[in-house]
Structure 1
Amino acid sequence: MRVTNKTVYDSVRYNLGKISEEMSKANQIASSGKLISDLSDDPVGLTQSLKIKSVISGLDQLGRNVSLGKSWLSASESALTGVQDLISDTKALCVQMASSTTGASQRASAAATVQNTLDEILSLANTEVSGRYIFSGTKTDSAAFDQDGNYLGNDEPFAIKIGINTTASVGSNGQGVFGTIFTTLNDLKNNLTGNNIDGIQASLDSLTRHFNDITNKISDIGSKMNRMEIKEQIFQDSKLVNTDRVSAIEDADIADAIINVKEKELAYQAALNSSSKVMQLSLVDYLK
């Protein structure tokens, strides 16, 4: 069968183009370190990669939620520890003021100390994290208590999403946390001003109950913090596994990629040499 010059030339051009395209793709993989640059490279692999990246994005969001939750719990623990310290100091003051050796003027002076303690606990009860009040329930945009100790929030604790169908409370219903602390302190202040020793002793008993309640609240926060840390580690581990899965699909082995480039370059050079000889053939060569 006779082979025309055009057929030979077209075949040479096609082969050179094909090898050139392969060499270009090999160079792209080696330079980018990626096996997949567009959909045509690996449709199935790209689809899998996108699904895994969606999972990673969800894990990142849950991780941010947990980080927010930890900051709220840490602020809550710090605030309640401060309240506990203030209650402890006030209990010591009560013991002193309930003593028969203490005079009315001293008790009246101690009332000012209790007022300062009341103001400090109110300030702690209105603790904020990034402009959001942590003891206001879900009404995080408004203070938990007014200056008279009246609760302004609601009874639904602020919660974060830590799983597909799982939430965790990291805020608090301030009324449930602080209870009647402000009433107790106001009563103590009045009993000190009125030189009422029995009333001071009753306030001491109430402060002991408040101290124990706050201790339990701090313990509960500690348990929640442990849960957040476990969740955080789970999310980090899961993200690492999924990131490795994406890498296995998308990332090239650089050493193999460089070897592949060299192979394509050699193949291209060999094709060029062969083509140059074919292109030099005349019509007479085909008639022999």
Structure 2
Amino acid sequence: MMMRVTQQMLHNNTLNQLNRNLSRLNEAQEQVSTGRSINRPSDNPAGTNLALKLRSELAANEQYQQNADSALSWMEMTDGAMNQASNVLHRANELATQAANGTLSDQDREAISKEVDELREQLIDVSNTKFRGKYIFNGEKTDQIPFPTKGVSNAEISELDNTSLQTQVSGAAAIEYSLSAKEVFIGNNGGENVFNVLETLSANLKNNDQSAISDSLKKVEASVDQVLNAWTSLGARQERMEAASSRLKDANTNLQSLQSKTEDADIAEAVMKLKQEEAVYQASLSATARIIQPSLMDFLR
């Protein structure tokens, strides 16, 4: 038995097809206006899942990149401070070597002792270096000045934090980026207290004690080596941090490229599709206008 096709059924089918064409046109317009092939999960469920994973990985990578860049800035400030400390101690070494010469007069050694005192003051200032409002040589106690007085007392030393700061550069890797005052200036594990070394050298110069000055010279030389060793350690960490930063930048570029391929629309293709959908929709409107025309029978029903 043949099914009777009514005018109402014809109208409904025509409108449904028209709405489907309009929906495709809207989708094409949205892709062109946003530049994205995925604007909602229903556009591409598998692509959406991949895009969300890429976004999450990219966000984590960008945070690791910020961590590395921040640590590198801290290291650059520390490197500058270590350079100053090294210069101070090298100058002290020159003065001690000069003072160990038996031909100098009492007045000469007195003048040298005054410069040594100034060098000690300068070294204390270096040890209290701040970066972005934080003291760089006091471990996790970045809000506390390592040596608040020029005396460098045992009480001050006991309050120093020997913790080495570290930052996360991946899900499984963290890199240390700081040096402590104990490591550099006080001498861990039987090292030299460089402030005491300079203070003793100055006193020996004032006393014009030739033998004691020679002993102080050895202490100054050991202090120079101590600072250089810490500086070298910082350089090795800095090199590792720079390598991590470079790797993270490359990873960010690759992730952004993958994200673009997953989410972004091919604009040329999207515009062509938009033109096609516009043509289809206009044709649908024209056809619908001819099909859905009121007749006398429509009014009589």
Q: TM-score, normalised by structure 1?
A: 0.93
Letter aligned with residue 216 of structure 1: N
Q: Which residue of 2 aligns with 1:66?
A: 68
**Unmatched runs of 5 consecutive residues or more in structure 2:** 188-192
- Where does residue 265 of structure 2 map in the other structure? 252
Q: 2: CA distance between counterparts of 1:155 and 1:95?
A: 32
Q: Cα offset for 1:41?
A: 2.0
Q: Which amino acid aligns with 2:147?
A: F
Residue 8 of structure 2 aligns to a residue in which SS? Answer: helix
Cα distance per residue 1:214-265 (max 9 Å; x no partner): 2222222111111011101111111112112211221000000000001001
Q: 2:211 maps to what in 1?
A: 198
Aligned to 2:146, what secondary structure does the other structure show? Answer: coil
**C-alpha displacement of 1:278:** 1.4
Task: Report the AA paired with residue 161 of structure 2.
Answer: N
What letter corresponds to residue 260 of structure 1 in structure 2? K
Q: What is the aligned partner in structure 1 of residue 190 from structure 2?
A: none
Q: Which amino acid in 2 is paired with 1:73? A: M
Structure 1 counterpart of 2:40, one-letter code: D
CA shift, 1:153, in A, is 1.9
* Amino acid corresponding to residue 242 of structure 2 in structure 1: E
2: CA distance, partners of 1:68 / 1:281? 74
Counterpart in 2 of 1:173?
180
Aligned to 1:278: 291
| Offset, 1:124 | 0.8
Contact 1:143/1:153 (<8 A) preserved = no
Corresponding position of 1:124: 126
Q: Is the 8 A contact 2:169 2:175 kept in 1?
A: yes
CA contact (8 A) 2:178 2:234 kept: no
- Partner of residue 148 from structure 1, selected from 151, 154, 159: 151
Counterpart in 2 of 1:224?
Answer: 237
In 2, Cα distance between equivalents of 1:23 and 1:55: 34
The one-letter code matched in structure 2 to 1:205 is: K
Shift, 1:282, TM fit: 4.6
Provide the secondary structure at the position in 2 that maps to 1:37. coil
| Deviations 1:155-182, CA, capped at 9 Å, x for gaps | 2211111221322111122112112101
Q: Equivalent residue for 1:261? A: 274
Deviation at 1:283, TM superposition (A): 7.4
Q: 1:278 and 1:166 mapped to 2: Cα distance?
A: 69
**Secondary structure of 1:136's aligned partner:** coil
The number of equivalent residue pairs is: 285
* Equivalent AA in structure 1 for residue 252 of structure 2: K
AA matched with 2:231: I
Identity %: 26
Matches within 5 A, 1:80-91: 80-91=82-93
Provide Cα deviations, 1:186-239, integer angstroms capped at 9, x if missing partner.
101111111112111111111111112222222221111110111011111111
- In structure 1, C-alpha distance between the alignment counterparts of 2:31 and 2:169, rounded to whole Å: 38
Contact preservation (8 Å) 2:183, 2:230: no
1:148 counterpart letter in structure 2 = G
Counterpart residue number, 1:55: 57
Runs of 4+ in structure 1 off by over 6 angstroms are none
* RMSD over equivalenced CA pairs, Å: 1.8
CA distance in 2, matches of 1:227, 1:31: 44
Moved more, 15-24 or 215-224: 215-224
Flag structure 1 segments of 5+ consecutive residues without an equivalent.
none
**1:159 alignment partner in structure 2:** 166
Aligned equivalent of 2:254: 241
Equivalent pair of 1:157/1:171 in contact (CA under 8 Å):
yes
